[in-house]
Amino acid sequence: MRARAQATDATRDSGRGGGKGASGDGDGDDDDEEDDAYVVDIDYPEWVPEVLQFNREDVATVLITFAVSLGFRHFVAEPRYIPSLSMYPVFDVGDRLIAEKITYRFKRDPQAGDVVIFNPPKTPKTRNVSNEVFIKRVVAVAGDVVQVKRGELYVNGVSRGKELKLEPIQYNYGPFTVPEDNLFVMGDNRNNSFDSHAWGPLPKERVIGRATFKYWPPNKIGGLPEYPLTAPDVAR
């Protein structure tokens, strides 16, 4: 429709110019309009509305634009919406973020502290959601020992994530050693997160990208806060 509108404007402008031509008799108007008319060079079925009948050049432009958009989303970055409180307080319901896909493809593997988007592994507990996209924080990588006790998360015997704690964790877990080529992911809101403590480690190949930037709401625009890998002792 935009291409058709532009063509119509161009025809209208050309028509005005034709009336002021050297001949002065208006004969050039019809010729100019015929030359500048929007030509549909595709044989559309009768049921296709006229406003959707584009010529080959415009169809190619639309297809190329669509392909570039899909390629960018698949290989470079994509926007995401936060639907739950599992990552509160870093992310609230309704927050929107950008997840980039370059780092894990070309630079490095996911590491502790990264916030990742991923498809959950196919397990008995995730069989109905294995194709959905989750967002959690990597708290441990292959070889790390994860344990939850006395209301705290420990990785390799060191308390981790106290700064993000809303309340003491209300379950015990582990100790569990993260297998090779896997990650252990948890929501920052530990007691309200369906994560690795419930369904097990996350294979690295299930990771889609790394959350890097929050763009909505406007008062929260910016990068994500640092996640310290060691935490000072605080009152429990």
Rounded-to-integer distance, Cα 96 and Cα 212, Å: 11
Number of H helices, E strands in the chain: 5, 12
Residue 147, classed as helix, strand or coil, is strand
- Judge whether 221 and 135 are in contact, CB under 8 Å: no
Q: Where are the alpha helices (DSSP H) in the chain?
A: 2-19, 27-36, 56-75, 102, 196-199
Residues 6+ apart with CB under 8 A from 190: 153, 161, 165, 166, 169
Q: What are the residue numbers of the active site?
A: 86
What is the CB neighbour count within 10 angstroms for residue 100?
15
